[in-house]
Structure 1
Amino acid sequence: MFKDKTILVTGGTGSIGSEIVRQLLNHNPKVIRIFSRDESKHFEFQQELSEYKNVRFLVGDIRDKERINYATKDVDIIFHAAALKHVPSSEYNPFEAVKTNVIGVQNVIEAAINNNVEKVVAISTDKVVNPTNTMGATKLLSERLISAAEHYKGNAKTVFSCVRFGNVMGSRGSVIPLFKRQIEEGRDVTLTDKRMTRFMMSIPQASKLVLKAAELSSGGEIYVLKMPVLYITELAETLLEDFNNKRKSKSSSSIVETGIRPGEKIYEELMTIEESERAYDNDKMYAIFSHLSDNTQHSIPKGFKKAERNAYSSKDEKPLTKQEIFKLLENSGLLFN
């Protein structure tokens, strides 16, 4: 699917975007355009990819309609990973989240239609399900914009779809780098509530399934990745134990609750009951068909079956044991050296 194609990755220097780029390079694309507003990350990523002659680095912001339209010229596939993702930041700067996560997404959609792009795959989040915060609400709107684009694109050939997943281990701003830094410095390991559960997956796992969803998409679907669930407090305990087992001097860190931040949830959801009624699944993911479609039978991906009528929530899933958390961290290269 990706061989000899021109591919644009927005947010292409971020944690997910950059891993999508790395995995795409294994598929021999004609060109990958890495679109991001952060010139420092561009420089770092350019050093990493210096041996590749088929990557282009474009400085720009999806808020800039003219810039994203120009970046999309002659593009075959867009992976849209650019977003404002941090819950507290979006709470205190709500219209900035709207500018990127809503207006920016509409700019990407219009650029794709104008340039007759084959496929657009947008990266979404578990925060969109029953959102209690600004970030989740804006990302829910972005999902709705992507789904609606499938129905108003007219004669354009572009196929639009979303991929929704939970927390990505080791990504920028995630808890694991924070916990490790606190442990190494002997400070208290801070978490907001010990009851908190989260879906969690490694960056390469998430990116690989994004590429698979792109291959499967036929228009308007939301692909929900099936992810392990863990208690955040047990994640912190596992990292603290790993540090103490590897270092001569034990860490003086304790695990301390700080209270839930504005807009934060005790548990996360990846799919509602209502969405499950329109969903099909296999062992890796769900495919939720658009509520705007009357007939989806022709779009069911091969190997998928009708999903059970059930919400998919971190509250209801069996959490990983601490041994399993350790193994997940080990396989992801996120334990202490």
Structure 2
Amino acid sequence: MSASEFTDSTVLITGATGSLGKKFIERALNELGLSSIVVYSRDELKQSELREHFGRDPRLRWVIGDIRDRDRLLKAMHGVDFVVHAAALKQVDTAEMNAYEYIHTNVIGSQNVIDAAVAAGVRKVVALSTDKASSPVNLYGASKLCADKLFTSANLDPRNCGTRLCVVRYGNVLGSRGSAVPLFRRLAAKGKSLPITDKRMTRFWITLDQAVDFIIDSFTLMKGSELFVPRIPSMRVLDLAEAVAPGALTHEVGMRPGEKLHEEMISTADAARTYQHGDRYIVLPQRGVTDEDLPTSGRLPDGFCYRSDTNNQWLSAEDIRNILT
């Protein structure tokens, strides 16, 4: 991770009061040498709690705003060098009953972020995606795939006079607010059986610190239009339950509408324009890439698909327990 690019610069984070935003702010304040961080979110209570958590650090600038509001975004991005776009509606089952709200935030809101960043002359933007955006089977995943396409194509917009944009896509985040770990811990403390969606289920997993490292490194590596995917391990949901509550009883509850048995981060179709580069895969856009932009090595084999059940890296229950402690 290189911090030199960020020295004396300003970063804005949308959806900054979430688990990822909080960890990014913490790391950025301690390691990146920033002059200021703009905390952009719509929840005043969470901002107030976060302000107290960081001891009212003068480098933090607090802005109440929604990514649905393009004018508010434009004002907030005045003088900003880098943007981390983390704001999104994320609940799979809720999305199926509130489709318009998810489109308005995840798709139209993302376009607002792009428009404001370009108009404000932001240097670089990294948008956060999800494994559910690859071959999506639910509205949440489909809305994030649309957002991914918006960001990777925005570099080709003739109105864009220098703002570079890319996307990072990763799996479930250990320790995040929406993970199964807090639920399992609460139930285990009461001696209750743990609900398992399906005993065969697998997922990609990444820690908050790893996710932040990956985002920061992507700012340095990006040229524009890339989709960066980390090479991370998979885990079995049963192993997660065993790691959190050894010996606890479990019961299957079945998959929710729109849920996959195994997750995917790179489809076979996308793999045709994907390259392996160190700790990551780089998915190149369908347009705007010349032969000179293509890597000279790391091409993936025909038929490659990056799925959680066929991954070559795995976490055991003991590995998970060590990470959580």
Q: Which TM-score bucket, shorter chain as reference?
A: over 0.9
Q: Which amino acid aligns with 1:140?
A: L
Question: Hey, what's the Cα distance between the residues in 2 that align with 1:297 and 1:17?
Answer: 35
Unaligned runs of 5+ in 1: 245-252
TM-score, normalized by length of structure 1? 0.90
Give the aligned partner of residue 307 of structure 1: 300
% same residue? 36
User: Is 1:229 matched up with 2:234?
Assistant: yes
Q: Which moved more, 1:21-30 or 1:194-203?
A: 21-30
Question: Hey, what's the Cα distance between the residues in 2 that align with 1:153 and 1:233?
Answer: 50
Question: Hey, what's the Cα distance between the residues in 2 that align with 1:152 and 1:202?
Answer: 34
Pick one of 62, 69, 78 that aligns with 2:83: 78
CA contact (8 A) 2:38 2:62 kept: yes
User: Is 1:328 matched up with 2:320?
Assistant: yes
SS in 2 for 1:165: coil
Question: Hey, what's the Cα distance between the residues in 1 that align with 2:35 and 2:13?
Answer: 14
**CA deviation map 1:196-219 (0-9, x unaligned):** 100001111111111101110101
Question: Post-superposition shift, 1:5?
Answer: 0.7
**CA deviation map 1:11-56 (0-9, x unaligned):** 1111112212222221111110011111121112111212632111
Pick one of 78, 85, 88 that aligns with 2:93: 88
| TM-aligned CA distance change 1:44 to 1:149, over 3 Å | same
CA contact (8 A) 2:95 2:140 kept: yes
Pick one of 252, 261, 284 that aligns with 2:256: 261
Pick one of 282, 285, 288 that aligns with 2:280: 285
Pick one of 16, 27, 43 that aligns with 1:12: 16
| TM-aligned CA distance change 1:2 to 1:304, over 3 Å | farther
CA contact (8 A) 1:23 1:208 kept: no
- Counterpart mapping for 1:1-337 below 5 A: 1-25=5-29, 26-50=31-55, 52-241=57-246, 253-295=248-290, 297-298=292-293, 300=295, 305-309=298-302, 310-318=304-312, 320=314, 322=316, 325-331=317-323, 334-335=324-325
Question: Post-superposition shift, 1:232?
Answer: 0.5
SS in 1 for 2:239: helix
Question: Hey, what's the Cα distance between the residues in 1 that align with 2:158 and 2:276?
Answer: 27
Q: Which amino acid aligns with 2:301?
A: E
Question: Hey, what's the Cα distance between the residues in 2 that align with 1:205 and 1:139?
Answer: 21
**CA deviation map 1:108-149 (0-9, x unaligned):** 000011111100100000001110001000000000110111
Question: Post-superposition shift, 1:319?
Answer: 5.9
Question: Hey, what's the Cα distance between the residues in 1 that align with 2:9 and 2:137?
Answer: 39
Question: Post-superposition shift, 1:67?
Answer: 1.0
SS in 2 for 1:238: helix
SS in 1 for 2:129: strand
| TM-aligned CA distance change 1:277 to 1:115, over 3 Å | same
CA contact (8 A) 1:190 1:258 kept: yes
Q: Which amino acid aligns with 1:320?
A: W
CA contact (8 A) 2:240 2:320 kept: no
Q: Which amino acid aligns with 2:278?
A: D
| TM-aligned CA distance change 1:299 to 1:44, over 3 Å | farther
CA contact (8 A) 1:231 1:319 kept: no
**CA deviation map 1:215-242 (0-9, x unaligned):** 101010000011110110111122221x
Q: Which amino acid aligns with 2:10?
A: T
Question: Hey, what's the Cα distance between the residues in 2 that align with 1:34 and 1:304?
Answer: 39
TM-score, normalized by length of structure 2? 0.93
SS in 2 for 1:293: coil
**CA deviation map 1:274-314 (0-9, x unaligned):** 212211222311111111124153365xx973333311111
| TM-aligned CA distance change 1:42 to 1:220, over 3 Å | same
Please report the RMSD computed on the Cα atoms of aligned residues, expressed in angstroms: 1.7
| TM-aligned CA distance change 1:80 to 1:299, over 3 Å | farther
Q: Which moved more, 1:124-133 or 1:22-31?
A: 22-31
CA contact (8 A) 2:118 2:160 kept: no
Q: Which amino acid aligns with 2:14?
A: T
CA contact (8 A) 1:85 1:135 kept: yes
Question: Hey, what's the Cα distance between the residues in 1 that align with 2:292 and 2:24?
Answer: 30
Question: Hey, what's the Cα distance between the residues in 1 that align with 2:264 and 2:14?
Answer: 25
SS in 2 for 1:168: strand
Give the aligned partner of residue 248 of structure 1: none
Q: Which amino acid aligns with 2:97?
A: Y
